[in-house]
Amino acid sequence: MKIFPKSVDFFEIFDQAASNLTEATSHLMDLFKNITRLEEKAKIIYGIEQKGDTLTHEVMRRLNKTFITPIDREDIHALASAIDDVLDLIWGAVDRMTVFRITETMPEALEIARALHTTTEVLESSFGYLREKKYSFVHDNCIEINRLENHVDRIFRDALGRLFDDVKDPLMIIKWKEIYEHLEDASDRCEDVANILESIVLKHG
């Protein structure tokens, strides 16, 4: 019994899910860079979120039909759920932008989106390393993702401080607080993905 049998293609779906996630954060950066045509940009990210849903369901479906899995069942389940959560939260942030009729962007939102994009790129390469059993590379990536999450934490904290210091309108504060919270939460869930990857590596490494 090989640990990573070739026939099982969970890695392939995870590759697609991670690449889909990177696409979402790339569009998120665009959106916060230039808020014009918000509805149109939101629609694109919604499409990516829908594709992510399909991939998550595909993982779960195969998981329930497969007896031998390349990595522990609960880890596959947890990975798929966590990636799905990241995408849901990114979509949640974008959706709030349209519901709240936001017409101006915030520099901190773009900064977080940039960090999220780097994070998802690192996550995407981690899945490749996992498949190739380059565990020390996965490990290094996880450390990098933790560093990026701390970075987002600090931006979020500063953004919140500046929001209460500089913005006068309570409604605008409530709106942006909620958008920032979605983004920060997305970053937290990325760290969850990294933690699961880390524990998989520790088990096999």
Write the single-letter amino acid at 87.
L
In angstroms, give the least distance from the CB of 199 to its own copies.
Answer: 6
In angstroms, give the least distance from the CB of 120 to its own copies.
Answer: 23
In angstroms, give the least distance from the CB of 203 to its own copies.
Answer: 6
In angstroms, give the least distance from the CB of 173 to its own copies.
Answer: 7
> Distance from first CA to last CA of the chain, Å, rounded?
17
By beta-carbon proximity to its own copies, the closer residue of 22 and 56 is: 56
Half-sphere exposure of 150 (CA within 13 A, CB side): 6
Q: What is the DSSP string of 134-164?
A: -HHHHHHHHHHHHHHHHHHHHHHHHHHHHHH
In angstroms, give the least distance from the CB of 13 to its own copies.
Answer: 16
Half-sphere exposure of 101 (CA within 13 A, CB side): 1
By beta-carbon proximity to its own copies, the closer residue of 26 and 38 is: 38
By beta-carbon proximity to its own copies, the closer residue of 29 and 94 is: 94
Residue 153 is encoded by which pair of tokens?
A: 């934490």
- Kindly give the residue spans of alpha helices, DSSP state H, lying in the chain: 10-33, 38-65, 73-99, 107-131, 135-166, 170-204
CA 82 to chain centre: 8
By beta-carbon proximity to its own copies, the closer residue of 23 and 191 is: 191
Query: By C-alpha distance, which of 28, 157, 12, 8 is closest to 70?
Result: 8
Footprint of its own copies (CB under 8 A): 60-61, 64-65, 95, 99-101, 157, 160-161, 164-165, 170-171, 173-175, 177, 199, 202-203
In angstroms, give the least distance from the CB of 189 to its own copies.
Answer: 14
By beta-carbon proximity to its own copies, the closer residue of 118 and 199 is: 199
By beta-carbon proximity to its own copies, the closer residue of 13 and 173 is: 173
